[in-house]
Chain A
Amino acid sequence: MDAIILQILNGLDKGSAYALIALGLTLIFGTLGVVNFAHGALFMIGAFCAVTLSRILTLSHTVIDETKTDFLGNPLKVDVPYVHDIFGIAAGNAIIDWAVPLAILFAIPVMILVGVVMERGLIKHFYKRPHADQILVTFGLAIVLQEVIKYFYGANPIPTPAPAAFKGSFDFGAAIGFDPNLIIYPYWRIIYFLFATLIIGGVFAFLQFTTFGMVVRAGMADRETVGLLGINIDKRFTIMFGIAAAVAGLAGVMYTPINSPNYHMGMDFLVLSFVVVVVGGMGSLPGAVLAGFLLGVLESFASMREVIDIIPGINQIIIYLVAIIILLTRPRGLMGRKGVMED
């Protein structure tokens, strides 16, 4: 029982990352009709916003410490961050410690900018082109973006820890009456889950309750008519692309303490997030979220020792197996509409 609760909890957490990426992907597909293979790269760029901010915060000048020596026997050069000089050591360290949450503020404008530039500069020209062309050009873009990041940040993962206040884990089991230590969950992952629900809720509320959202939804349903009504739908779609990029980017920022970011993290998520979107049903926002959480939970169950013992290798293939079964039994995914992307 405790094992199952634990894996559900865990699956919801895993699923929240999948859901966030799939949400952005579906927003872009639903509004613009573009299959964006560079979406994983946006997630990755978001993560590197956090890395960049923590680099900026730790910008240092060197001080020579005569009392110690470096590996060659020369006097040790110690890096002193400028924030120490400005705010003092204690406050400076606190600021560095909070780099990841601070990066949210940093990432929002950066990601919207990246999204808008991408849409205006490249994607715009592909609205009329076949889906295959869209896939290919954004795939090329994804390669370029990840190679650029690799050039500047190297291939090795870069540790970006959460603030010390979120270290350790919450004893969930003890709170609901199990023995201590049976169901524990890290604070940061709980925050990630809450953050994801907040963003998902925000996007839905935005689309549901604002005029802007209403126009965009109308545009998703029938772009031409909305255009005939004299509404500049293109501009709104550009903004939607920016928002989708920001959603992916924020998912990336908050993900950095969970896994040290590296240049190929976007590609790692790409195939998976497409599977999530397709399982949810192309173009369906609730479908994407539902499928994200569903696949997260199923993946967690498949990684249980007891399950692997019965079906060896199930943890390797569960995602794909689910995708195949759903696509064969529910041709348009869980919540997809008819006629989307079938040609």
Chain B
Amino acid sequence: MSKTDVSRRGLLKTGALAGSGLALPTIFTAQSAHAYTNEPTGSSVTLGFNVPQTGPYADEGADELRAYQLAIEHLNGGGDGGMLNTFSSKALQGNGILGKEVKYVTGDTQTKSDAARASAKSMIEKDGAVMITGGSSSGVAVAVQALCQEAGVIFMAGLTHSNDTTGKDKRANGFRHFFNSYMSGAALAPVLANAYGKDRKAYHLTADYNWGYTTEEAVRSSTEAMGWETVAAVKTPLTQTDFSSYIAPVLQSGADTLILNHYGGNMVNSLTNAVQFGLRDKQVNGKDFQIVVPLYSRLMAKGAGANVKGIFGSTNWHWSLQDEGSKAFVRSFGTKYGFPPSQAAHTCYVQTLLYADAVQRAGSFAPCAVAEALEGYEFDGLGNGKTLYRAEDHQCFKDVLVVKGKENPTSEFDLLEIVEVTPVEQVTYAPDHPQFSGGALGTCNNGA
């Protein structure tokens, strides 16, 4: 017992140390009322970039951060202006947003919803961020989006592909430029039917969480509409690293196509394992066995190395696009950092510009005014061609890329080639589509 006594005094010591850090304030000033959360009153405005800086998606987060820094530079009139020159809206002048210099703070999502909300909250409560953006998983995006709705700031989603982000978990203060599972399915199915025929038997391996479910559902329904048959769909744990026991039985099932609804490390491993099993050298039902990866990213392709060669998938954007916007972005990003941007970097850059432009057009940083300016807004010149920010669910509708692993890459960034640019009409769906049912936007929240 006496030992605890000693520790108790230890506390007092430590407490006194902490207390001595307190300096006494002297002057008392009245506090000003704000019309909305974090109304910028000075000569600058702060944006919050919430990206994974630790954990398995740290490299993707680092690329997003590069894009944000580039966007800030362009907004403040630095650099070559990037996509500001090709953007169809000319509201932005290169003098910040509404004449205020743009500053930013960063936070680490750790790709965990709790940590992401904590860092978003700290940026809102402590640093006075008026907009939060970023993230590289749907779990995080949905969690932070709900937080921003509650706090009364705008959320511009980064990389999030699940239908839920603008489906059952949509929020009035949240906006997504990135495409989603449904669009992947709708874009991929015709290309697959063309390349592999209409009588394929598909075997799905699906990551056992929300994004996996929506992706499986989307790819399944659009390939079945093309005449494919789904032989089986097996759920794999998120924490799985070795997929051999899931891949080994694929051939026994009589399937001739394997669809990997995996992302990140899961996808790298499952694809590597599948190729290792020699599935692609086999013949089933008189057809060459094929593998499909619905959602591709360059970093994943890099992780899987030569295994991606010839494998179809979809992406939101790719640096080899030849429209003026993409070329301008690739030029300024490549000049600054020495390599081409990833799709995550692109969507983050574009989201920042779109936000800034909406504020400029609305003439206010108030979330409701910004939301109104974004809703139903049509623009062009930011990659992906003509794009609509649909008012009903805050989802961007634009062309989707179907890509294939390149057979003879010239560099470590040149891993994917564009097979087809699927026009926006083909990936558009009704706001009340069953895959997006449930949930409601609610009304925009300005906070206080």
B245 lies within 8 A of A299 (CB): yes
User: How far does the Cβ of A115 sit from chain B's closest Cβ, in whole Å?
Assistant: 24
Q: For the complex, is B79 an interface residue (Cβ under 8 Å from A)?
A: no
A223-256 interface code vs B (CB 8 A; 1 in, 0 out): 0000000000000000000000000000000000
Chain B residue nearest in CB terms to A301: B245
CA distance A185 to B249 in the complex (A): 11
A208 contacts the other chain (CB 8 A): no
Q: Is there a chain B Cβ closer than 8 Å to A138's Cβ? A: no
Contact of B303 among A3, A158, A161 (CB under 8 A): A158
Residues of B within 8 A of A222 (CB): none
Q: A182 at interface (Cβ–Cβ under 8 A)?
A: yes
Question: Which A residue sits closest to B334, measured CB to CB?
Answer: A72
* B-contacting residues, A1-55, CB 8 Å: 2-3, 6-7, 9-11, 13-14, 17
| A6 near B248: Cβ-Cβ < 8 Å | yes
B56 touches A155 (CB 8 A): yes
CB neighbours (8 Å) of A308 from chain B are 234-235
Contact stretch, chosen from B84-92, B266-274, B384-392: B266-274
Beyond A70-B411, A156-B299, is A181–B272 a contact (Cβ under 8 Å)? Answer: no
B122 adjacent to chain A (CB < 8 Å): no
Provide the B299-330 mask, 1 if CB < 8 A to any CB of A, else 0. Answer: 10011111100000000000110000000001
Bound state CA distance, A162 and B253, in angstroms?
Answer: 28
> Does B369 have its Cβ within 8 Å of any Cβ on chain A?
no
Q: What is the bound-complex CA distance between A161 and B330, given in angstroms? A: 31
Tell me the nearest residue of chain A to B335, going by C-beta: A72
Given contacts A71-B319, A159-B307, A305-B234, contact A265 B241 (CB under 8 A): yes
Closest beta carbon of chain A to B70's beta carbon, Å: 15
The number of chain B residues touching the other chain, given as a range, is 35 or more
Q: Is the CB of B330 within 8 A of A182?
A: no
Tell me whether A168 is interfacial, beta carbon within 8 Å: yes
Instruction: Say whether A161 contacts B306, CB under 8 Å.
Output: yes
Which among B6-14, B36-44, B275-283, B343-351 touches the partner chain? B275-283
Does B118 count as interface, using CB distance less than 8 angstroms? no
A169 x B303 contact (CB < 8 A): no
B421 CB-CB contact with A under 8 Å: no
**Residues 226-246 of B contacting A (Cβ, < 8 Å):** 232, 234-237, 239, 241-242, 244-246
Also in contact, A258 and B242, with CB within 8 A (given A181-B284, A186-B277): yes
B251 interfacial contact with A, CB 8 Å: yes
A2 closest partner in B (C-beta): B252
CB pair A303–B246 under 8 Å, yes or no, is yes
What 0/1 pattern do residues 179 to 192 of A give for CB contact below 8 A with B? Answer: 00110111011000
- Known pairs A157-B303, A188-B276; A71 contacts B252 (CB<8 A): no
**Minimum Cβ distance to chain A for residue B234 (Å):** 5
Q: How many residues of A contact B (CB 8 A)?
A: 51
Give Cα A39–Cα B268 distance, bound, in whole angstroms.
24
Instruction: Evaluate contact between A155 and B413: CB separation under 8 angstroms.
Output: no
Report yes or no: A303 in contact with B276, Cβ–Cβ below 8 A. Answer: no
Interface centre among A157, A169, A258, A264 (most CB of B within 10 A): A157
Residue contact B334 to A184, C-beta cutoff 8 Å: no
- In Å, the complex CA distance between A260 and B249 comes to 22
The answer to whether the Cβ of B431 comes within 8 Å of any Cβ in the partner chain is: no
Cα distance, A150 to B299, chains bound together (Å): 15
Task: Give A65-95 as 1s and 0s: 1 = Cβ < 8 Å from B's Cβ atoms.
Answer: 0001011100010000000000000000000
B78 at the interface (CB under 8 A from A): no
Closest to A71 in B: B340
Residues in chain B near residue A257, CB distance under 8 A? 276
B380 at the interface (CB under 8 A from A): no
Q: Are B245 and A155 in contact (CB under 8 A)?
A: no
Expressed in whole angstroms, the minimum distance between the Cβ of A44 and any Cβ of chain B is: 12
A157 and B265 within 8 A (CB): yes
User: Is B273 a contact of A258 with CB atoms below 8 Å?
Assistant: yes
Closest CB of chain A to B254's CB: distance in Å?
10
A34: min CB distance to chain B, Å: 26
Check A71 against B241 for contact (C-beta < 8 Å).
no
A248 to B208, CA, bound (A): 30
List 22 contacting pairs A-B, 8 Å CB cutoff, sorted by A: A3-B252, A17-B242, A76-B411, A155-B59, A156-B59, A156-B299, A156-B302, A157-B268, A157-B269, A158-B303, A159-B272, A181-B282, A181-B284, A182-B251, A184-B278, A186-B278, A260-B272, A260-B304, A303-B236, A303-B246, A308-B235, A315-B236
Further contacts, 10 of them, CB under 8 A, given A7-B245, A157-B269, A188-B276: A6-B249, A10-B248, A155-B55, A156-B59, A159-B272, A159-B306, A162-B276, A189-B244, A260-B303, A315-B235
- Give B residues with C-beta under 8 Å from A: 55-60, 208, 232, 234-237, 239, 241-242, 244-246, 248-249, 251-253, 265, 268-269, 272-273, 276-278, 281-282, 284, 299, 302-307, 319-320, 330-331, 334-335, 340, 410-411, 413-414
